[in-house]
Chains A and B, each alone.
Chain A
Amino acid sequence: MAKVLIIEDDVYLTEDLKFFIEDEGHTCKVYRYADEVMENLNNFGQYDFIILDIMIMRGSRIRDDNTNIETGEIFYKEIREKYRTKKIIIISAKDIEDMTIDFRKEANVEIIEKPLNEKKIKRLLTMLR
């Protein structure tokens, strides 16, 4: 059974995602705010999967004034620097082509576009197996 981290600020969505993931027998941790993510970056080694929302509020710890880059992309870079093979599942409402990182070309990355529906949730759960 996997240990999963969800980084997502939509409460309604995280509640449901957490339910599905735990229902499959995995354990699941949720960070809703950027500050929590930055504080805990060093502990991410314990997770088998990180589900990462791209559009999240910056918070007070990120000092990047480039507003073209999304908060989730900053997280992605930080995580990749420390954990090069960590499996990351990107969930995004923004078009994947409009981002500064081309996630389609990244290794160990899966992409699920928002809004989520039954099919996409099932796909996500299959990834965790």
Chain B
Amino acid sequence: MKYLLFLKINRYYLLLDDNLVGAESLKAEVPQAKFFHEEAFEGLENGKLIQWEILKDILDGRVELEHNQYLVCKRSSFFVFSPLRKGLLFARSIPRARKKDWILKKAEEFGETRIAKFEMKRQNALSQRLMGIREDMEDCLEALSDFVLCERYSLWVYNKHTDFFSCMASSKAPKKTYIEQKDEKTFYEFMDSGMEYESRAPAKTISITKGMAWLNRLRLDFGGDDTIGIVSFYSKHPNFELAPKARRYIKNFLELKYIERREESQLALHNIIKDMASYEVGKHDVFLNKLVCSICRELCFEACSIFLKDLEGKHLILTATCDKNHDGPPTEEVIYKLKENSFTGTVFNTGRVLFSHALPTDPRNKHIYDESTEHKPQNWIGIPLVSDNKKWGVLQVKNKYRDTDKREIKNFRPTDFESLYAVRTHLCNILQIEEVHENYVKKNENLLLKSGDLEQKIAVLSNFYQVFMHEIRTPISTFSTSTLVIEQLFSSRTITEEKRQSINNKLDDIKVMGERLEFIANTYQFKRLIRMQEPRRLSVLRDIVLPVFNIAKTYIQKQYDVDIYYIPGTLEDQYVYGDQRLLNMVFNALINNAGKYSSRFEKPISVYGELDKKGTFFYLVVENYGFKIHEDEKEKIFENRYQGREVRGQKLGGTGIGLYLSKEIMKNHKGDLLLTSLNKPITFKIKLPRRNMDGRR
């Protein structure tokens, strides 16, 4: 007996005949002839007897009918037509109704078993294909597209850094692999509408929609940073809408896949940062050479260069470059005049990120120096090295590629920008440290040449340099060891929950140290020390206390096992006048001393504010319960290189400069630094003017 079984798929019925097994090449097995729109089956009732002429009409003559009449078995997701011999239902031996029920039951059983088998094979085929795929988004999409019986597919990812959509995968290679708003509005409209799913006829005929009658479009949300993807499946059949279950599956799968790939790019970033940790003060040439190479290697660019501005700030000089012929040090002298119009120069002058997806046709593409790449120049990103309103130079990369069997040039992804921004932050920190170092060396030389009146300044600089080096030692060491730990943890085959936790902890450490380093680099500036900036009105809490709390709290708790807090209500809405960087430095010195010297004393460090009687000054108070200060040391403690007897006796380290420097800074502020209690608690008060003492407001 030959049943005719039709499985409902989307708004169609698919003829499941014996040729259709649901194996890997399912799509190839399903010619158009086997699809019937649901409208054709309308009005067919369960249990109805249907003559072959009518059924032939319904099936549009596309299915060969071997019997004269069929009994309709209708279920929610399928139809079975059971052939009947003429007169069977009228046989006398069995009552007609019972006979009919029996035939329907058999038909239903057949339908369910056959469909279950088909679905299982179809699901298995999909799983096998997806499991075998590690890297390629293209293969994943092809498997998913086959699974939902669509003919074509594409996946475009929105890059918020460029406001472009880049093509990640497509069954028909598009003419342009990126789309901007003027090219194709429907992507932007769909993204802005906030809709999750769209199903309609294609709007216009381009190569991918040619011969396609229907488009299914799904929105994908990749992780927490608002990266959005749009996946499209095209079908030859009009109204071929995807079932909600299939949509959910596709969405979940692709979102997860993308996050997996993002983890890979994070790993790449870790490798770069790990390389950055080998930085040694005063050797930035070696460091930059190594950095450009590791950016090329880890982020898959064919070339990467760093340009730094010269001393007068009029030229950009090629400092490090990695491409087909270089592995760091440039072999020729390349200098950009900043006035000339060039891609690199524009990045520096405007302080804005520039990029190009199509260098050959880009009218802005003017380079004096062109790195040699394996492929023709295709795409390019230039990032200004800027921090704290200071311009250092430009970091640029060219030709993003994908390393499969054959290296192909690809569009950059949002993660490329994020990785480059992270590298930029670290790089600027280091350039800042480097500048401070160079200035120190230079000034020291200059100052030593002239003698006498400048001796004082030399002393200040030399002191300052020691404090600075002391401050950066732990962060630099943590950068180097913690990144190694992460690398080691990542290198194991399986990442257990415990390891994941360790990685997170180490990342937290690196973050804490990064923030510390950034703070130090921003705060500890020689020039401020020598010539104080014009006093500005500062919020005590926002500008002085919180920046230091942010970098010190976690560090002090972990390193010295001491808690630190400020008393609410005493600092809010208080304003003073001064140079924020210098006041940060003073407050940071007091907090760090308090932490270091009250390690294991168990009583927390407290910070609060109070006003003097006349209301002219505000006191920022730091109290700790650490080692006492002796009565006879009350003044000495502020002398250069003096360390308290208790602290000295305990060999607690330190430079003996911090308090001296802080007192000097506070005197320059028309304020003061006072020691008001010597033991339990030890109390330091930063005396800050509430009015602008220079007479300027």
Which residues of A come within 8 Å of B, CB atoms? 10-13, 15-17, 19-20, 23, 33, 55-59, 65, 67, 70-71, 93, 114-118, 121
Contacts and interface: CB of A to CB of B under 8 A. Distances in A.
A20 B489 CA distance: 10
B650 A11 contact: no
Nearest to B278: A117
Interface stretch (B152-160, B326-334, B473-481): B473-481
Given A12-B559, A13-B477, A93-B473, A57 B488 contact: no
Interface string B635-653: 0000000000000111111
A57 B599 contact: yes
Nearest to A68: B651
B528 interface: no
A22 to B, nearest CB: 11
Contacts of A13: 477-478, 481
A55 B478 contact: no
Top 3 A-B residue pairs of the complex, sorted by shortest distance between their CB atoms? A115-B477, A16-B481, A58-B650
A12 B485 contact: no
Q: Which of B481, B488, B649, B653 has the most CB of A within 10 A?
A: B481
B600 interface: yes
B509 interface: yes
B552 interface: no
Contacts of A33: 600
A5 B480 CA distance: 22
A14 to B, nearest CB: 10
A55 B651 contact: yes
Contacts of B447: none
Contact of A20 (B474, B480, B484, B513): B484
A118 B488 contact: no
Contacts of A93: 473
Contact of B474 (A12, A56, A58, A65): A12
Contacts of A57: 599, 650-652
A57 B506 CA distance: 26
7 contacts: A55-B653, A59-B650, A67-B648, A114-B477, A115-B477, A117-B277, A117-B481
Contacts of B502: 19
A36 to B, nearest CB: 11
Contacts of A20: 484-485, 488
B649 A19 contact: no
B67 interface: no
B651 A115 contact: no
A65 B649 contact: yes
Contacts of A70: 651
Contacts of A15: 509
B482 interface: yes
Nearest to A58: B650
Interface in B495-547: 502, 506, 509, 513
Contacts of B652: 57
B649 A117 contact: no
A121 B477 contact: no
Interface of B: 274, 277-278, 473-474, 476-478, 480-482, 484-485, 488, 502, 506, 509, 513, 558-559, 599-600, 648-653
Nearest to B482: A16
Contact of A10 (B474, B484, B650): B474
B54 to A, nearest CB: 76
B473 A117 contact: no
A19 B341 CA distance: 52
A13 B484 CA distance: 12
Nearest to B643: A67
B648 A11 contact: no
A67 B644 CA distance: 12
A23 B488 contact: yes
Nearest to A19: B485
Contacts of B482: 12, 16
Given A13-B477, A115-B476, A118-B278, 16 more contacts: A10-B474, A10-B559, A11-B558, A12-B474, A12-B482, A12-B559, A16-B482, A16-B485, A20-B484, A58-B649, A59-B650, A70-B651, A114-B473, A115-B477, A117-B481, A121-B481
Q: Which of A12, A20, A59, A114 has the most CB of B within 10 A?
A: A12
Contact of B559 (A11, A19, A23, A116): A11
Contacts of A11: 558-559
Q: Which of B485, B506, B513 has the most CB of A within 10 A?
A: B485
B650 A117 contact: no
A12 B650 contact: no
Contacts of A118: 274, 277-278, 480, 484
A10 to B, nearest CB: 7
Contacts of A58: 649-651
Contact of A116 (B480, B558, B648): B480
A12 B558 contact: yes
Contact of B481 (A59, A67, A71, A116): A116
A67 B480 contact: no
A30 to B, nearest CB: 14
A67 B646 CA distance: 11
Nearest to B279: A117
B559 A16 contact: no
Contacts of B653: 55
Q: Which of B278, B473, B484, B506 has the most CB of A within 10 A?
A: B484
Contacts of A17: 481
Nearest to A17: B481
Contacts of A117: 277-278, 477, 480-481
A114 B526 CA distance: 26
B447 to A, nearest CB: 25
Contacts of A19: 485, 488, 502
A115 B360 CA distance: 48
Given A57-B599, A57-B651, A16 B484 contact: yes
A35 to B, nearest CB: 9
B249 to A, nearest CB: 39
B273 to A, nearest CB: 13
A12 B473 contact: no
B507 to A, nearest CB: 13
A37 to B, nearest CB: 13
Nearest to A71: B651
Contacts of A59: 650
A67 B488 contact: no
A116 B478 CA distance: 9
Contacts of A114: 473, 477
B482 to A, nearest CB: 6
B475 to A, nearest CB: 9
A11 to B, nearest CB: 5
Nearest to A115: B477
Nearest to B559: A11
Contacts of A67: 648-649, 651
A12 B480 contact: no
A94 to B, nearest CB: 9
B272 to A, nearest CB: 14
